[in-house]
Structure 1
């Protein structure tokens, strides 16, 4: 089963992904892939440098992601230009990793963690979409503490993203990460159990009605 895991900034996607890994799921991180394809020897490196110039490079010739973010944040045209270059390489690498995992475990539960899967429409690739939610106050506190920024800057970043109320509408499953880790883990276990039940039901339908598949 191929699952998507998404949510807005500082809602705890990575925490939830690790909990699913503890249950035996395979996890793919789209942000890590983004770093891979934009590395100096990565597939998107040349295209990004050609588009944005050598001023985005650090002293080692690597793309300075902070400098690049400063260029595209709040600039729709530049952001779309970056995504046009990088996004196809990310999806291609995701497909490769999924193929590698399925090649060694055809019953694998694979979860791809991607912040913008709803915004970019890539959620349609998945058998089901899990959305991680945390209340705005908790999200604000986590973001401010994690990135070492003030409340005003954190609110600006949060406001730039799709409202959680809209993103949740795309969810097949919702995990509330507003409370303690134990509470989140309980919610993860609940969703994992439901997914296993769904898998069994689908397999039963395929077995009993092969002509309908």
Structure 2
């Protein structure tokens, strides 16, 4: 994707009736939040680009195509997928009708190929899910099995990220109202995570 000052841009994204322009992804994200309906076609194009990159990684995972640093020798592809995932996570709540299955796609890729994905992409996909959880689009309970899986990887930054998110989720829940049953369940999971981390660290 072309860039402006090192920032990836989306080209030819404007819907019909507006003059074409080139926007950085952060700028486009801001515009989408202000006018979701007016930027629906841009969203659909970026979703399509994300799906294409996602399919490439799935195919490589199925073929067990790996390098020392993980799937794919082309860091540009991994970076593009990570950027699109974070972008879509930020705007999912504004386009629920178009991104219903987006959280599942991210979680499925991590579940299927976390061990072979590049470390940076793994962490960015986890951050994408955490953002979706924080915004109430998916529940922490739904993602707990995946976060448990991530604790078994030899990726310390990723383990720390997942662990800290569970701790913050417990604190956030207790700020609203205490749910002893959920607290006990999450605390048990934290205990297991600590045991796993102790074996790996």
Task: Give the TM-score of the pair, scaled to structure 1.
Answer: 0.33
Higher strand share: 1
